[in-house]
C-alpha cells in the first residue's frame, strides 16, 4: 500500500497520488461518460491504496459526488477515505455565478453531505472567489462548519495571492488548490513561498498541462478541442515545448518510466505539495498514475528538470 503523507498542518493523512474525480460523473465536462465506468474508477483507486478523492458540486453537476458516495458506502470504509469537495457555483436565471456568502457555503456543505452519503467532509474548498464576499468572512463560515464537525479542513481554490492572504487572516486556511505545472510556474513567485511559510498545502491542478507533459504528442499532433486555441499548442511555441518534454523523456527512459510519472514525481519534491490529484476516465489509468510512486529522482535530476523549464 502507498505510504501516506500529512496534508499541511491538518491531521489528514493521504496517499501522495490521489484521484481527481472530474471525469467521474462529470457529464457537463466530458462527452460520453458512463456512470458505471466512473464508479469502477473510484473502486480501482480505493482497491489499490489511494485514499484521497477530489470532487466538486459542479462536476456533473452533483453527479460526481453522488457516485463517490455510492462507492464509498458500498465499500463500507468511510473512515479510511479522505474526501475533498468544493462549491461556489450557483445557477441564477440560467447563468452561472459565484457565491461565497456564508449562507450559501453552509447550504452547499449540507447538500454535499447528502450526495456523498456521509456526515462529514474531510476537506471542503471554496471553489472560486466571488466579487462581493470578504474572503475572511467566507472562510469564517467554513471554520464554523469545522467547529461543528461537518468538515475537517478548509480549502480555497483559484484564489490570487492577495485573496489568499485575506482568506487566511485568522490562519484558518489549510489547503490552496491552483493551476501549476512545469509550463505555468507563476505560483512559484509568491503563492508557493506563502503556502510554505504558513503551513498551507498546495494542490496543483492541470499538472500535465492538458496532456502536453504526458509525453504522447509529436510536432505532427493536431487538436480539435480547446487545445487548438491554446498558445502552448501552437506553432513554434508548441515545437519548443515538445523539445523540453523530450529532454524529460531522456531522464524517464533511464529510469524505465514514463514522462508523466517523472513530471508528477518532480512536483512531489516541491515545498508544500503533499498530494497530486491526476484524473482518470478508466480504471487502468488509475493504476498507471500510481506508477509515479515508483520514481525516485536524484538531486541532479530534480535540478535538471528545473533548468529545462526555466528556459
Q: Which of 57, 59, 180, 267 is catalytic?
A: 59
Task: Go through the domains of the chain in sequence order and give each one's CATH number.
Answer: 5-212+259-297 (3.20.20.100)
Q: Is 70 exceeded by the pLDDT of residue 230?
A: yes
> Can you tell me the distance from the alpha carbon of 125 to that of 55, in angstroms, rounded to the nearest whole number?
10
pTM of the model: 0.96
Flag whether pLDDT at 311 surpasses 70.
no
Across the range 268-293, mean pLDDT stands at 97
Cis amide leading into 61 (omega within 30): yes
Residue 78, pLDDT score: 98
Q: Find where cell 529510469 sits.
A: 255
Lowest mean pLDDT among 173-187, 216-230, 234-248: 216-230
Q: Does residue 261 register a pLDDT over 70?
A: yes
User: Which is nearest to 191 in space by CA: 177, 205, 172?
Assistant: 177
Mean pLDDT of 269-285: 97
Give how far Cα 268 sits from Cα of 176, 201, 243, 263, 273, Å. Answer: 15, 12, 23, 9, 6
CB atoms within 10 A of CB 301: 19
Q: Whose CA is closest to 113, among 180, 171, 68? A: 68
Output b/e per residue, 88-113; b: 16+ Cβ within 10 A: bbbeeeeeeebbbbbebbbebbeebb
Q: Is 59 a catalytic residue?
A: yes
State what percent of residues in the chain have pLDDT above 90. 95
Distance CA(149)–CA(201), nearest Å, equals 21
pLDDT band at residue 224 using 50, 70 and 90 as cut-offs: confident
Amino acid at each position: 500500500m502507498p505510504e501516506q503523507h500529512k496534508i499541511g498542518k491538518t491531521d489528514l493523512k493521504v496517499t501522495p497520488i490521489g484521484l481527481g474525480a472530474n471525469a467521474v460523473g462529470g457529464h457537463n465536462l466530458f462527452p460520453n461518460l458512463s456512470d458505471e465506468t466512473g464508479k469502477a474508477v473510484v473502486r480501482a483507486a480505493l482497491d489499490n491504496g489511494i485514499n484521497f478523492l477530489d470532487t466538486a458540486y459542479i462536476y456533473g453537476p452533483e453527479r460526481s459526488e453522488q457516485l463517490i458516495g455510492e462507492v464509498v458506502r458500498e465499500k463500507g470504509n468511510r473512515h479510511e477515505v479522505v474526501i475533498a469537495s468544493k462549491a461556489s457555483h450557483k445557477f441564477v436565471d440560467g447563468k452561472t455565478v459565484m457565491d461565497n456568502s456564508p449562507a450559501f457555503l453552509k447550504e452547499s456543505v449540507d447538500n454535499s453531505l447528502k450526495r456523498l452519503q456521509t456526515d462529514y467532509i474531510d476537506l471542503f474548498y471554496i471553489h472560486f472567489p466571488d466579487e462581493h464576499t470578504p474572503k475572511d468572512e467566507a472562510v469564517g463560515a467554513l471554520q464554523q462548519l469545522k467547529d461543528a464537525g461537518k468538515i475537517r479542513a478548509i480549502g480555497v481554490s483559484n484564489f490570487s495571492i492577495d485573496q489568499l492572504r485575506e482568506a487566511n487572516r485568522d490562519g484558518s486556511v489549510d489547503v490552496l488548490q491552483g493551476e501549476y505545472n512545469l509550463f505555468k510556474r507563476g505560483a512559484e513567485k509568491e503563492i508557493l513561498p506563502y503556502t510554505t511559510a504558513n503551513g498551507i498545502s498546495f494542490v496543483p491542478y492541470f499538472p500535465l498541462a492538458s496532456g502536453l507533459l504526458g509525453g504522447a504528442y509529436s510536432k505532427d499532433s493536431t487538436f480539435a478541442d480547446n487545445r487548438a486555441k491554446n498558445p502552448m499548442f501552437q506553432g513554434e511555441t508548441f515545437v519548443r515545448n515538445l523539445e523540453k518534454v523530450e529532454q524529460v523523456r531522456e531522464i524517464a527512459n533511464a529510469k524505465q518510466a514514463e514522462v508523466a510519472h517523472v513530471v508528477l514525481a518532480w512536483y512531489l519534491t516541491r515545498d508544500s505539495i503533499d498530494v497530486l490529484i491526476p484524473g482518470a476516465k478508466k480504471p487502468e489509468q488509475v493504476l498507471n498514475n500510481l506508477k509515479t510512486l515508483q520514481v525516485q529522482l536524484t538531486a541532479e535530476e530534480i535540478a535538471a528538470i528545473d533548468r529545462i523549464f526555466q528556459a
